[in-house]
Amino acid sequence: WLLASGAPLDLCDYSHPFVMEFLRDIEAACNQGEAEESMAERTGEENVESPGEVSLHWLTAEGDHDKLEAVLKIDNSALEVADRHGQTPLNLAARLGLHHIVKVLLEAGADVDHADCDGWTALRAAAWGGHTEIVKLVLAAGASVDSCDRDERTALRAASWGGHSDIVTLLLEANADVNKTDCEGRTALIAAAYMGHAEIVEKLLDYHADINHE
């Protein structure tokens, strides 16, 4: 058994073969209902800190919320550990559109407003990707609706550019700043008009978007 043999839980590369072996054993333990006991034995040793970014990021990307929950029940201290892109597991799940995983991570206490190296929060990533259910989840968790990426683009700007009408509506109803500009001075209205999203243009105008902004 890998964990009982001293498998490190805080490796930095979640594509490492050793980590993949660790996760296969975690899966087997989950199937047998033994994961919590085995990890508890491992975490009782003096040299163990937490499950670490490897297991959480990999389990997040894998999309299996049962295995992720099994790890988080033992130790959720790695929730805010970021990978080389600055992404926490929540950021990664939002980018990948894994709303069940996002729900698990939020319930475990993940920081909903953590920004990665591009300045993308979970909300910004979900808005760009058109992941409506995730937008609902992070807004309900108190996400900052007007947080900006490094180019000063908000979730509303991203959703307007991408043509995600339902998300635009959610953000407007959450009091997003309809006239906020990005680093190039473009508003959500300009983005939607440029991309030819007539329905979104109309919706933004209903929320008093400045039609005269240049």
Q: Are residues 204 and 191 in the same domain?
A: yes
| 203 or 41, which is more confident | 203
Residue 35 has pLDDT above 80, yes or no: no
The C-alpha atoms of residue 37 and residue 101 are separated, in whole angstroms, by 23
Cα separation of the two ends of the chain: 64
The C-alpha atoms of residue 122 and residue 90 are separated, in whole angstroms, by 7
Q: Are residues 116 and 158 in the same domain?
A: no
Q: Are residues 208 and 194 in the same domain?
A: yes
Q: Are residues 180 and 206 in the same domain?
A: yes
The C-alpha atoms of residue 41 and residue 157 are separated, in whole angstroms, by 48
Contact by Cβ (8 Å): 59, 104: no
Half-sphere exposure of 17 (CA within 13 A, CB side): 0
Q: What are 94-110's pLDDT values in tens digits?
A: 999 999 999 999 999 99
Domain extent, residue 157, equals 145-213
Tell me the residue type at 127: A
Task: Select from 144, 159, 183 the last residue of a domain.
Answer: 144
Task: Select from 95, 116, 144 the last residue of a domain.
Answer: 144
What confidence category does residue 64 fall into, taking pLDDT thresholds of 50, 70 and 90? confident
Residue 42 has pLDDT above 60, yes or no: no
Q: Are residues 69 and 120 in the same domain?
A: yes
What confidence category does residue 43 fall into, taking pLDDT thresholds of 50, 70 and 90? very low
Write the DSSP assignment of 167-207 as a string of letters: HHHHHHHTT--TT---TTS--HHHHHHHHT-HHHHHHHHHT
pLDDT (mean) for 41-58: 50
Residue 151 has pLDDT above 50, yes or no: yes
What pLDDT does 75 receive? 84
Tell me the residue type at 205: L
Write the DSSP assignment of 83-119 as a string of letters: -TTS--HHHHHHHHT-HHHHHHHHHTT--TT---TT-
Residue 159 counted as domain residue:
yes
What pLDDT does 29 receive? 54
Q: Are residues 63 and 111 in the same domain?
A: yes
Residue 58 counted as domain residue:
yes
Q: CATH no. for residue 180?
A: 1.25.40.20
Question: Could you give the number of structural domains in the chain?
Answer: 2
What confidence category does residue 129 fall into, taking pLDDT thresholds of 50, 70 and 90? very high
